[in-house]
Structure 1
Amino acid sequence: MSISRRQVIQSAGASALLASVGQQAMAQAQIENLKIVTGFAAGGTSDTTCRRVATKLGGSYAKTATVENKTGAGGQIAIQYVKGQPADGATMLQTPTSMLTIYPHIYKKLPYDPINDITPVSLACVFDFGFAVGPMVPANVKNIADFIVWAKANPSQANFGSPAAGSTPHFVGALLGRHAGVDLKHVGYRGTQPAMLDLLGGQIAAVCGPIGDITQHLPTGKVRILATSGAKRNRFAPDVPTFTEQGLKDMEHSEWFAFFLPGKAAPDVVARLNSAVKAALASKDVIDGMGTFGLETMSSSPAELATILKKDTVKWGPIVKAIGFTADA
């Protein structure tokens, strides 16, 4: 958009006054404390995303920025909490998109409206899922075909954990069982890290979750990743073949984390936070830090995020119907 010459402040005195007013307005607009809310436990990828971004927003967008982990109900509690907060830019939600795109297909009634109760701000990152096994599964199980054979021979132990019932990794695991003709029993957790602890302890056979939540446990020697869910091999686990490479079609699924404000946030509030989040995600230390957790930073405009959510909501409808899962008793 061009600006006409008549719009330019020609007086040096007027320019100085305008700068002074702008600085005062910015000071008045700065939030005292930004609260970033996640529905998942500390130590996981969702929590890490919040904390990396908080280090950049504290002192710039807000005087301080803190993270609150409101776990439970597969991420619903955090969304329900944020929807009830003032839409003044002081409380921001960070959530995987499955709580907004899949849950409407599996719950007859949600405690929030994915369209009206929250306001899109920006994407945060994109990531693939990994399907990993632990000590319960014999060491000779090295790929998906081996796992299917083992699962059929050990039906009472054929299970997998995910960060939440109804989440994308839950459906990735369910699709694996459906393709293989195996009844893989699902165990939902409050985040991937609690599931990984049970995997390491031999309480469950496998975990499907964000790749970064799994790779951080590889040094223990107790975890083996059998497949990743992307269209191509994941750069954080380049030696692991994808589901597609192993002959399983329709198993290409990645997910996004994204930031939201409470519903009906004013456009200027959304724009200011979007700008601050984009700057935070573009900083090298945030990119590198999130990369250690298998996360590829990716920002967007609020409109682009709204479009992605709409597209993914449509995509998951027939998948959920085919699997036949419902979260309602």
Structure 2
Amino acid sequence: MFNRRQLLISTAAGTGLLGNAQAAEPLETLRILSGFPAGGTVDVVARRVADKVRGTLAKVALVENKPGAGGRLAVDELKRAKNDGSTLLLTPAAMITLYPHLYPKLPYGIEDVTPVCGATSVVFGLAVGPGVPPAVKTLKDFLAWAKTAAGQANYGSPGAGSPPHFVGALLEKESGVALSHVPYRGTVPGIQDLLGGQLTSFVGPIGDYLPHVKTGKLRVLATSGPKRSRFLPEVPSFTELGFKALEQVEWYGFFLPGKAAADVVQRHAAAIKAAMSTLEMSEALAAYGLEVAVTSPDELAKAVKDENLAWGPIVKRIGFTPES
């Protein structure tokens, strides 16, 4: 969330409680729901965790992709699942914390999910490609060019109402430079248009840029973390450049259905912590620009509450509605 306290940056914070989970017989089958297509970062994390907990937390652990409605379908599926520990959800924060402010008829609420633990975190970046002059190498350059671009300056995002959309919208508000928003259905088509020059800039997870930065096809001008990302150490953060309001670290968290028993929560949290805390996992996720960021159930619950409260004023400032 914007201006978050170091909630999910440290993998060690608050994990001591997880070791108290009581041993129990493995579940017959564990479903891990993902609200996004196979091959995306949520799916990658879910499948790696499923591989690690298979045989310990559950005899069979599998991932079910429920793409659609910006990740909302998977949360609704969790709400309707049996409350016996056999169904988990892995989701980015926005589906739980932001969407209640955007969709008046959302079929679920915060009370319908039980926080288990945080898993990973990612920051966003503003990238440009051949649609802007080669001389545009910094955020200052981009904003100066945008002022004189006669309506050509725009930014894409993975979807209207997504956190990257709000990063771009806040950049427009904070800088006073007009930037038109171009929403896409995910990052892949947006980055394709950015590479092709049809789009001048894009705001999305930095991991999606890394292959193209290495080849010189894209230039990342700023990132949304509280400090520079280790994956792009040469790129300044928005905060460093004077745009503190754009600070955002997005986390992915695991959830059980609402009112899950405390011992079930602790057991699942301990198993996920063990799965996430290996060097193998850290190295695998680094390829996607993801940081391992394990938290306790209580910390995740606090994050959900705090971020839900914080999103309201931001949504109001941007003036976004699903129809806008």
Smaller-chain TM-score bracket: 0.7 to 0.9
The one-letter code of the counterpart of 2:199 is: I
Q: TM-score, normalised by structure 2?
A: 0.86
Give, in whole Å, the separation in 1 of the partners of 2:196 and 2:189.
11
The one-letter code of the counterpart of 2:301 is: A
Secondary structure at the counterpart of residue 250 of structure 1: helix
Report what 2:227 is aligned to.
232
Is 1:54 aligned to 2:50, yes or no? yes
Instruction: Indicate the percent of aligned positions where both proteins have the same amino acid.
Output: 54
CA distance 1:269–1:194, shift in 2 (3 Å): farther
The one-letter code of the counterpart of 1:233 is: R
Report what 2:203 is aligned to.
208
Q: CA RMSD in A?
A: 2.1
Report what 2:85 is aligned to.
89
Is the radius of gyration larger for structure 1 or structure 2?
A: 1
* Aligned with residue 216 of structure 2, among 213, 216, 221: 221
Give, in whole Å, the separation in 2 of the partners of 1:155 and 1:90.
55
Give, in whole Å, the separation in 1 of the partners of 2:36 and 2:114.
20
Which stretch of structure 1 is more off in the superposition, 99-108 or 271-280? 99-108
Give, in whole Å, the separation in 2 of the partners of 1:319 and 1:142.
29
Secondary structure at the counterpart of residue 216 of structure 1: helix
CA distance 1:69–1:203, shift in 2 (3 Å): farther
Report what 2:94 is aligned to.
98
Kindly provide the CA deviation profile for residues 270-316 of structure 1, in whole angstroms up to 9, marking residues without a partner as x. Answer: 22211111111111111121122222212122221111111111222
* Aligned with residue 186 of structure 2, among 191, 200, 206: 191
Report what 1:80 is aligned to.
76
Secondary structure at the counterpart of residue 261 of structure 1: strand
CA distance 1:303–1:76, shift in 2 (3 Å): same
CA distance 1:203–1:328, shift in 2 (3 Å): same
CA distance 1:191–1:307, shift in 2 (3 Å): same
Give, in whole Å, the separation in 2 of the partners of 1:277 and 1:197.
34
Kindly provide the CA deviation profile for residues 133-189 of structure 1, in whole angstroms up to 9, marking residues without a partner as x. Answer: 122222221111221123233354322222232222111111111122233222333
Alignment gaps of 5+ in structure 2: 1-21
Report what 2:116 is aligned to.
121
Give, in whole Å, the separation in 2 of the partners of 1:255 and 1:78.
18
Secondary structure at the counterpart of residue 246 of structure 2: coil
Secondary structure at the counterpart of residue 129 of structure 1: strand
Kindly provide the CA deviation profile for residues 189-244 of structure 1, in whole angstroms up to 9, marking residues without a partner as x. Answer: 34323432332233322221222222233234321101011121111100001112
How far the C-alpha of 1:247 sits from its partner, in A, is 2.9
Is 1:32 aligned to 2:28, yes or no? yes
Secondary structure at the counterpart of residue 245 of structure 1: coil
Alignment gaps of 5+ in structure 1: 1-21
4+ residue segments displaced more than 6 Å? none
Secondary structure at the counterpart of residue 281 of structure 2: helix
Q: TM-score, normalised by structure 1?
A: 0.85
* Aligned with residue 159 of structure 2, among 156, 159, 164: 164
* Aligned with residue 246 of structure 2, among 251, 271, 274: 251
| Pairs aligned (count) | 303
Give, in whole Å, the separation in 2 of the partners of 1:157 and 1:59.
55
How far the C-alpha of 1:39 sits from its partner, in A, is 1.9
The one-letter code of the counterpart of 2:266 is: A
